[in-house]
Every structure is written in structure tokens, then in C-alpha cells.
């Protein structure tokens, strides 16, 4: 039976939820959208039209929607600073929650949310869209297959040309502290942590904002990480890059193992396997191409379905809130490291919960 969903937040990305992610899951009977919520009436109208809801199922107040419309779970796509208020309301009404990343805009709120979900005995997961995209899932399958041998190091590059005001879609990113880390690198550090396959122990970061970036907070970062299983990683990120060499959905990731290397660049995946040849050399772009995995749903289309299956007794989601605090810990450890100029013990942030 399809599960009843109240969706909250129809801004720039919330419109995609309505016109794409929720819609595809309504179409195949996974869910039914029973109400929509946004403070902005124009946004509500856009969502209503995408999903064909009656006007009386559109609310400007989440508390009222939760009180008046029977539902199984809510989906949350408001700005990060407002996630906690919506999640608290949902938990108080006995709803499960599928929330946009990041869990919250501070580590304290992240840990509070995870604690409140546990105490309420509800399910909550986070839409780490990019980890569940087709290209990253293909790379992940290669790494998990063991073909590369033990993983030694990971390198990831994200370079977007979004330096002008409003170039990164919504105003809040230009006005917040640490837009790159909180809004962008949350995905990338999450992917690195997943590929590493262990908890991050130590992280050192430097973040900054070039003069030309029309943002209040830092748009650029270099982060180095050491994981509990010995994997080391380095992340370079920028949303003020001159030309956007590896922007969202086209990032560069290299995973180096004992026996081989896998590279994802601009959605192409290739592997290079070590041969027993004296001092061999290779060149990127000329490795063995790997066809991308095929399945009907990726990113949030797939995550909504995973959430519904989990609620229905299926396997727990990998991005359930108690696991996903690790991605937030990487972000907030990077912020702390950059401020204090020293390495940070990442699990100290998680243990504070």
C-alpha cells in the first residue's frame, strides 16, 4: 500500500522534490502525497500544480498540516537552520522523517535531532543524494568488490563556478557561514567516508573565501582525513572556481588500492590494475572503462523508495540519522579545524551526543 507523505519546503530544491522525486514515487505507487507545506504561497502553488493536490491540502503552517492530515511520514526540504523545528513537530505527531541534508546547521542541533529521533522511537533518514547517484554507486561497487585490494588513499575534487551572487540557486547560501562545507562538501565528505569504509579519526582543514566570491562565508576548502582503517583522503572544494572543472554531478574521485586505482571523472569510470611489470606507467583517460550500473531510480527518487521500504520492514537505510551524524561530524570538524588551525579528533564531536 502506498505510504502517505506530507512534504515541507518548496523552494528551489523543494520544487524538484515535487516535480521529480515525489512525483516518480507517486507514479509507481510507492507513496501518496497527502499535503504540502511552505511559508510562501507561490511556492505552494507551484508544488500543488506539480502534484495535482487540492488547494485545501496546501498549508503555510507545518503544525496545522500535521494536525489535520493523517500521514505516515514527512519529507523535509526547508533550509538547514529550520530542519530541527519541522522535525520536532513531526516527531511530536508520531511521524517518521526523510530529511534533506545536512541534518542541521550546527553539530549541537545535529546531535539533538538524532537523540530526539531515538527517544521518540521513530525512523529518520537523510537524502545524501550524490552518494546514491549512478556514477558514485558504480565507483562504490568497484571499491566494495575488493578488486582494487585494500584501499590506501582517496582524492576528491569539486570545483564549481558559482562565485556570483545567486549563482548557487538560493540566497541563504550567499549569506550563511561556511556555505561550501555545510551545503556542498557535506555530500563530498559523506562520499569519501563511505568509500573509506571506516570512521574518520583525524581531520585537518583550511577554508577561505577569495575576494571575488560574492558570499559571506568561506567558499573554498582543502581537507585531509585519516580513517580508523588506515585510509587517508584529501578533498579540494570550491564554489568560486574560475571555470567549474568538476561541478556538482561531475566531480572527480580517485580511489587508490593495493592492486589498482579507480577514477571517476565527469561521470566516466575507469580502472587501472597493477601488472607485474617493472615501473609501469599509465595515463588518466586511458584506463579500462567501466559501464555505469543501470536501475530505474537514482538520487532522491531511489532514497524515497528506500525509506518507504525501510518503514515497511525492509533493511535500515544507510543514511539513517544515527549513521549520518558521521557526515555532519566531518563538516563541523573541518570548520573547527580551519578556525583553530589544528587537527581535530572527529569522533569527539560525535561522542559529545
Residues lying near ligand NAD in the complex (CB under 6 A) are found at 8-14, 37-40, 43, 62, 77-80, 82, 85, 100-101, 127, 129, 169-170, 172, 183
Q: Which SS3 state, helix, strand or coil, does residue 198 take?
A: coil
Question: Minimal distance in Å, beta carbon 78 to ligand NAD?
Answer: 4
The residues pairing with 232 across neighbouring beta strands, listed in sequence order, are 153, 226
8 Å CB contact between 3 and 25: no
Task: Please tell me the total number of residues recorded for the chain in this structure.
Answer: 353
- Name the residue nearer to ligand NAD (CB basis): 78 or 151: 78
Helix 134-145 / helix 186-196 crossing angle, nearest 10 deg = 20
Question: Minimal distance in Å, beta carbon 298 to ligand NAD?
Answer: 12
Q: How far apart are CA 149 and CA 134, in angstroms?
A: 23
Question: Minimal distance in Å, beta carbon 347 to ligand NAD?
Answer: 24
- Name the residue nearer to ligand NAD (CB basis): 35 or 329: 35
Question: Minimal distance in Å, beta carbon 327 to ligand NAD?
Answer: 12
Closest CA to 300 of 44, 5, 75: 75
Written as one string, the DSSP assignment of 237-294 is: EESB-SS-TB-TT--EEEEEESSEEEEEETTEEEEEE--S-TT----TT-SEEEPPP-
Question: Minimal distance in Å, beta carbon 31 to ligand NAD?
Answer: 18
- Name the residue nearer to ligand NAD (CB basis): 261 or 328: 328
Q: How far apart are CA 90 and CA 76, in angstroms?
A: 10
- Name the residue nearer to ligand NAD (CB basis): 20 or 201: 20
Question: Minimal distance in Å, beta carbon 185 to ligand NAD?
Answer: 12
Residue nearest to ligand NAD (CB): 11
8 Å CB contact between 79 and 174: no
Q: How far apart are CA 175 and CA 160, in angstroms?
A: 18
- Name the residue nearer to ligand NAD (CB basis): 77 or 231: 77
Question: Minimal distance in Å, beta carbon 233 to ligand NAD?
Answer: 21
Closest CA to 328 of 178, 173, 208: 178
- Name the residue nearer to ligand NAD (CB basis): 38 or 256: 38
- Name the residue nearer to ligand NAD (CB basis): 21 or 227: 21
Amino acid at each position: 500500500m502506498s505510504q502517505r507523505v506530507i512534504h515541507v519546503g518548496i523552494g528551489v530544491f523543494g520544487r524538484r522534490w515535487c516535480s521529480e522525486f515525489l512525483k516518480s514515487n507517486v507514479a509507481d505507487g510507492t507513496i501518496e502525497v497527502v499535503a504540502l507545506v511552505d511559508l510562501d504561497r507561490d511556492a505552494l502553488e507551484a508544488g500543488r500544480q506539480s502534484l495535482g493536490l487540492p488547494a485545501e491540502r496546501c498549508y503555510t503552517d507545518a503544525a496545522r498540516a500535521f494536525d489535520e492530515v493523517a500521514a505516515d511520514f514527512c519529507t523535509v526540504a526547508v533550509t538547514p537552520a529550520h530542519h530541527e523545528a519541522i522535525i520536532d513537530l513531526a516527531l511530536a505527531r508520531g511521524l517518521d522523517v526523510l530529511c534533506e541534508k545536512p541534518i542541521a546547521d550546527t553539530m549541537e542541533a545535529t546531535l539533538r535531532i538524532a537523540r530526539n529521533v531515538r527517544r521518540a522511537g521513530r525512523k529518520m533518514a537523510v537524502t545524501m543524494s550524490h552518494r546514491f547517484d549512478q556514477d558514485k554507486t558504480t565507483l562504490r561497487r568497484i571499491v566494495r568488490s575488493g578488486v582494487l585490494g585494500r584501499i590506501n588513499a582517496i582524492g576528491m575534487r569539486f570545483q564549481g563556478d558559482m562565485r556570483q551572487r545567486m549563482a548557487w540557486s538560493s540566497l541563504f547560501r550567499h549569506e550563511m557561514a561556511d556555505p561550501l562545507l555545510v551545503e556542498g562538501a557535506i555530500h563530498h565528505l559523506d562520499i569519501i567516508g563511505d568509500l573509506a569504509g571506516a570512521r574518520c579519526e583525524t581531520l585537518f582543514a583550511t577554508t577561505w573565501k577569495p575576494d571575488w566570491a560574492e558570499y559571506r562565508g568561506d567558499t573554498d576548502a582543502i581537507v585531509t582525513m585519516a580513517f580508523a582503517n588506515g585510509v587517508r583522503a584529501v578533498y579540494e572544494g570550491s564554489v568560486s572556481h574560475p571555470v567549474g572543472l568538476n561541478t556538482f554531478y561531475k566531480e572527480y574521485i580517485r580511489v587508490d588500492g593495493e592492486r589498482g586505482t579507480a577514477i571517476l571523472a565527469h561521470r566516466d569510470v575507469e580502472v587501472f590494475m597493477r601488472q607485474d611489470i617493472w615501473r609501469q606507467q599509465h595515463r588518466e583517460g586511458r584506463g579500462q572503462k567501466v559501464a555505469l550500473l543501470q536501475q530505474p531510480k537514482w538520487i532522491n527518487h531511489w532514497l524515497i523508495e528506500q525509506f518507504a521500504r525501510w518503514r515497511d520492514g525492509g533493511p535500515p537505510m544507510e543514511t539513517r540519522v544515527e549513521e549520518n551524524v558521521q557526515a555532519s561530524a566531518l563538516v563541523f570538524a573541518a570548520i573547527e579545524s580551519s578556525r583553530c588551525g589544528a587537527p581535530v579528533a572527529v569522533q569527539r564531536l560525535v561522542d559529545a551526543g
